[in-house]
Chains A and B, each alone.
Chain A
Amino acid sequence: GNSVTQMEGPVTLSEEAFLTINCTYTATGYPSLFWYVQYPGEGLQLLLKATKADDKGSNKGFEATYRKETTSFHLEKGSVQVSDSAVYFCALITGSGYALNFGKGTSLLVTP
């Protein structure tokens, strides 16, 4: 079946540090991959996506590259801000499905 595995959190970084949150997946077929972000007290919001191998999704300084050979979609940001503190979810959907499979989420705390 389809599944997503994310690195365990929480991740604590100082402002302006480099961020990497690892995500690997298992899927039948050719999935589309997503990162969603959840701020406290809110629902999830789409951060970025990639629909085929070697695509790079980017938004708000975050980026992730769809790596088919390593079945990965790691999230990166060169310089994090306090306002980036949130929970980040990796997710996938395959062409044969209609619902996203989410990872368990990784909590990020950025300190001044």
Chain B
Amino acid sequence: DAGVIQSPRHEVTEMGQEVTLRCKPISGHDYLFWYRQTMMRGLELLIYFNNNVPIDDSGMPEDRFSAKMPNASFSTLKIQPSEPRDSAVYFCASREGVDSPLHFGNGTRLTVT
């Protein structure tokens, strides 16, 4: 079991550029979550999917953020255009079922200059 795989590990970009973060959940997991972690706000849930369908995106901060899950083994989080306040660590996590533990990837550290 390779765990949840996120790429890239680090991303540095200039304000206004498009950023795409990628996630491969654990095979067989039906739920996928995107979280953002900052010192000020801690861990914030952005969006989650069940069986590739977005269920709750109320945590997505603005229309600049979008997430997709085209199939059970891949999800993307896109920010367009990026801003310095988007700098954070973005985590993807997956879970097999409602009562199963959450498995996190190692995160993508995004820096927008």
Instruction: Name A residues whose Cβ lies closer than 8 Å to a Cβ of B.
Output: 32, 34, 36, 41-46, 49, 89, 98-105
Which of chain B's residues have a CB closer than 8 A to the CB of A103?
Answer: 42
Which stretch from B11-19, B76-84, B101-109 is at the chain A interface? B101-109
Name the interface residues of B1-29: CB closer than 8 Å to any CB of A: 4
Task: Choose one: A34, A43, A89, A104; the contact of B93 (CB below 8 Å).
Answer: A43
Considering only CB atoms, which chain A residue lies closest to B47 in the complex? A99
A31 vs B74: C-alpha distance in the bound complex, in angstroms?
Answer: 30
Q: Indicate if the CB atoms of B43 and A43 lie closer than 8 Å.
A: no
Tell me the smallest distance from the CB of A25 to a CB of chain B, in Å. 15
Which of chain B's residues have a CB closer than 8 A to the CB of A34?
Answer: 101
List 17 other contacts, CB 8 Å, given A45-B104, A104-B42.
A32-B99, A34-B101, A36-B102, A41-B106, A42-B106, A42-B107, A46-B102, A98-B48, A98-B55, A99-B33, A99-B56, A100-B45, A100-B102, A101-B45, A102-B42, A102-B43, A105-B42
Q: Indicate whether A105 sits within 8 Å of B43 (C-beta atoms), given known contacts A43-B4, A44-B104, A98-B55.
A: yes
The contact sample of 24 A-B pairs, CB cut-off 8 A, is A32-B99, A41-B106, A42-B104, A42-B106, A43-B91, A43-B104, A43-B105, A43-B106, A43-B107, A44-B43, A44-B104, A49-B101, A98-B31, A98-B48, A98-B50, A99-B33, A99-B45, A101-B45, A102-B42, A102-B43, A103-B42, A104-B41, A104-B43, A105-B43
